[in-house]
Structure formats: C-alpha cells, structure tokens
Amino acid sequence: MAEESDYSRTEPASEKRRDQARAEGRVPRSAELSALLVVGAMTAALLIWGAQLFGRLQQLFAEHFSQAAQLPPQSALLLVQQSAVEILPFLAAVFVAALAAPLLLSGWVFAPAVVRFRGERLNPLHTVSRLFSAGGLFEAFKAVAKIALLALLLFVFYRMNLDALAGLPAQPLPQAVATAAGVLAQGFLLLLAAMLLAALLDVPWQWWRHLRNLAMTRAEVLAEAREAEGSPELKARIRARRQAMRLERAE
C-alpha cells in the first residue's frame, strides 16, 4: 500500500514543476473564455457603434449608387476604403479582445518549446489516446452540448423575431436598417448568454485539469527535495571526509 501511495499523484505540484510547465507552454487555456470575450467585444461594439455604423454605411452606399452612372470605375474601390474606415473601430475592439483573452487565465507566456518539432505528435496512437482520455471525452461532450444549445437558441431567436424579420421588406430603408440592427444585437446577446454559461463551466474544469496534470507522486516530491538539497549519501560522505581531515590535523 505504501508503494502504491508513493506512485499515485496525490501531491500538489511544486513551484519548480509549475515553472517548468509554464516554460514549456503548458498553462491552463479556455477556448470558451476567449470566445466569450471576443463575442462580448463584438456585442459591445455593436451596441455602442452599431446605429452610427449602419447609418454611415447606408449613407455611403446611397450616395454611391445614386450617382453610379456618373462615377468612374475606381469609385467602387473608394467605397470599399471608406466602408473599411467606418468598420475599423468595430474590428479594433474585436482584435484587442482576441489578444487579451488568453492573458486573463494564464498571463503572458513566451514558450519557444511549443513550436519545436515533437515526433509523438505524428504518432496516431498518441492522438487516439488523447481523444479517449478524460479530457478528450469531456471536450467531445462539450462540443455536443454546445451544438444542442446553439440549436435551441437559434430556434428561440427565430420565434422571437419572426414578425420583425418578415416585416423588413415592407419598411423604408432607414427603418429596416434600424430593425435589422436591433435584431442582430438581440441575437448577439442571446449568444453571449450561452457562451457565458459555457465559460463558467469550462474555466474551473481547465484549471482543475491543469493542476491534476501537474500533480506529483510522493516519490517525485522526495526526489525533487533530494535534488535540491543534495543526496543524503553524498552529504554523509562529505561529513565523514571532513571529520577524517580534522582528525588528521589534530594528530
């Protein structure tokens, strides 16, 4: 039983092991948290700049197509450039969120070892074993649950906005654009709620899984302590040698 407990991972990871794992790029990551922040940034940008953005784009396209016959061919490129400038704040918010999302869970990690070639990545048995591990099965369950939840949300969103979507063709263009923007914002909010639920479940799991993977056996803890402090046998030999040298000097 003692041997069995020595080789079971019951001890928390030491600081040395955590630092080594971080240097190798093995840190907790949550794709759900990253996706939540990106979609959250998109939703916030849409709520803040949505009406202004749609109004400005509507004005640009209306001006262009009302004079399409008199405009030179390169005016289409100018329209694309002007539209890109209007969309730039929206894209910048999403870009910043995508960069900041991984930093919330693990902080900044620079690990060149991650990009090194490792032969086990090409081993199909290694890939299969990962798929059928506890982490792989959880990821599969999570993917199925996400598909089911998104399907349910799509159905709810469709039923909630069926009348608004059906009435779009009969509305004047400015009113139709405003209605479409409101429906789109509502869809993002529903999606954001679902992704928040997924992130609340995924982040604790990723932390637990990371700490579990770094857990140590009692034998590993003792071996690391011996390595840090020096072998007891070596220390005994050094003490014996020093004692012998003192005796020789005394004689």
Q: What is the pLDDT of residues 142-157, one digit of tens each?
A: 888 888 888 888 888 8
On the question of pLDDT at 3 being above 60, the answer is no
Looking at residue 208, its amino acid is: W
On the question of pLDDT at 204 being above 70, the answer is yes
Q: Are residues 132 and 246 in the same domain?
A: no
d(CA 52, CA 48): 8
Whether the CB-CB separation of 185 and 141 falls below 8 Å is answered with no
DSSP sequence for 141-205: HHHHHHHHHHHHHHHHHHHHHHHHHHTGGGS-HHHHHHHHHHHHHHHHHHHHHHHHHHHHHHHHH
Model pTM? Answer: 0.64
Q: Are residues 177 and 235 in the same domain?
A: no
Q: Are residues 241 and 204 in the same domain?
A: no
What mean pLDDT is predicted for residues 30-45? 87
On whether residue 87 sits in a domain, the answer given is yes
* Residue 66: per-residue pLDDT: 72
Looking at residue 79, its amino acid is: L
On whether residue 55 sits in a domain, the answer given is yes
Residue 120 CB partners (closer than 8 Å, separation 6+): 126
Residue 14 CB partners (closer than 8 Å, separation 6+): 216, 221, 224
What mean pLDDT is predicted for residues 83-107? 82
What mean pLDDT is predicted for residues 217-246? 75
C-alpha closest to that of 28 among 163, 180, 199: 199
Place of tokens 């020595």: 6
* Residue 129: per-residue pLDDT: 61
Average pLDDT, rounded, for the chain: 77
In percent, the amount of the chain with pLDDT more than 70 equals 78
d(CA 209, CA 131): 15
* Residue 171: per-residue pLDDT: 77
On the question of pLDDT at 200 being above 80, the answer is yes
What mean pLDDT is predicted for residues 182-200? 85
In percent, the amount of the chain with pLDDT more than 90 equals 0
What mean pLDDT is predicted for residues 176-188? 78
Q: Are residues 239 and 198 in the same domain?
A: no
- pLDDT level of residue 93 (50, 70, 90 thresholds): confident
Q: Are residues 52 and 160 in the same domain?
A: yes
Tokens of 173: 């263009």
Q: Are residues 48 and 92 in the same domain?
A: yes
Query: 35-49 burial, b for 16+ CB within 10 Å, e for fewer?
Result: bbbbbbbbbbbbeeb
On the question of pLDDT at 138 being above 70, the answer is yes
How far from each other are the two terminal CA atoms of the chain, in whole angstroms? 52
Instruction: Please count the structural domains in the chain.
Output: 2
Whether the CB-CB separation of 226 and 159 falls below 8 Å is answered with no
Whether the CB-CB separation of 236 and 30 falls below 8 Å is answered with no
Q: Are residues 139 and 41 in the same domain?
A: yes
The pLDDT tens digits for 8-35 are: 777 888 888 888 877 777 788 888 888 8
* Residue 2: per-residue pLDDT: 43
* Residue 110: per-residue pLDDT: 60
Dihedral through CA 21, CA 23, CA 26, CA 29, nearest 10? 130
d(CA 136, CA 157): 31
On whether residue 7 sits in a domain, the answer given is no
Tokens of 90: 């929206």
The pLDDT tens digits for 102-136 are: 788 776 666 555 555 555 555 566 555 665 666 67
C-alpha closest to that of 218 among 1, 2, 65, 7: 7
* Residue 6: per-residue pLDDT: 40
* Residue 220: per-residue pLDDT: 82
d(CA 36, CA 46): 15
On whether residue 15 sits in a domain, the answer given is no
Give me the count of residues in the chain. 251
Q: Which domain holds residue 237?
A: 218-250
